[in-house]
């Protein structure tokens, strides 16, 4: 949903919901995340990044709410996932 590709960024609040009407095959199995920081990013700070799930029509599980490169200059603080209602959910907050 959001792809961040630059260095020296700061995000102070972000929230999003996954689509309601997707299936495991056309969405969950494809590795979609709510907030992705590109692998080439060396410096980035986020605070309060949230991903919400309400898979209304089908049971869908996504692996991660967010993904970031494992680098010392990339910091995600107070990230969260929320199961609103529905079927399925989000398995991990950030990168398993």
pTM here is 0.91
Answer yes or no: is pLDDT of 96 > 90: no
Cα three-residue angle 50-94-71, rounded to 5 degrees: 120
Q: Per-domain residue ranges for the chain?
A: 2-94
List, as one string, the DSSP characters of the chain.
-EEE--SSEEES-EEEE--SS--TTTTGGGT--SEEE-TT---EEEE-EEEEE---SS-EEEEEEEE----TTEEEES-EEEE-SSSEEEEEEE--
Question: pLDDT averaged over the chain?
Answer: 96
Cα distances (angstroms) measured from residue 74 to each of 21, 25, 37, 50: 33, 31, 9, 17
> Which pLDDT tens digit goes with each residue over 18-57?
999 999 999 999 999 999 999 999 999 999 999 999 999 9
Q: What percentage of the chain has pLDDT greater than the value 70?
A: 100
Answer yes or no: is pLDDT of 4 > 80: yes
């Amino acid at each position: 949903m959001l792809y961040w590709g630059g260095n020296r960024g700061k995000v102070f609040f972000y929230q999003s919901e996954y689509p309601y009407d997707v299936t495991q095959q056309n969405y969950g199995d494809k590795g979609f995340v709510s907030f992705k920081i590109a692998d080439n990013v060396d410096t980035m700070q986020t605070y309060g990044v949230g991903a919400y799930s309400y898979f209304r029509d089908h049971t869908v599980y996504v692996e991660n709410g967010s993904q970031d490169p494992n680098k010392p200059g990339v910091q995600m603080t107070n990230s969260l996932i929320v199961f609103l209602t529905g079927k399925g959910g989000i398995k991990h907050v950030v990168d398993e």
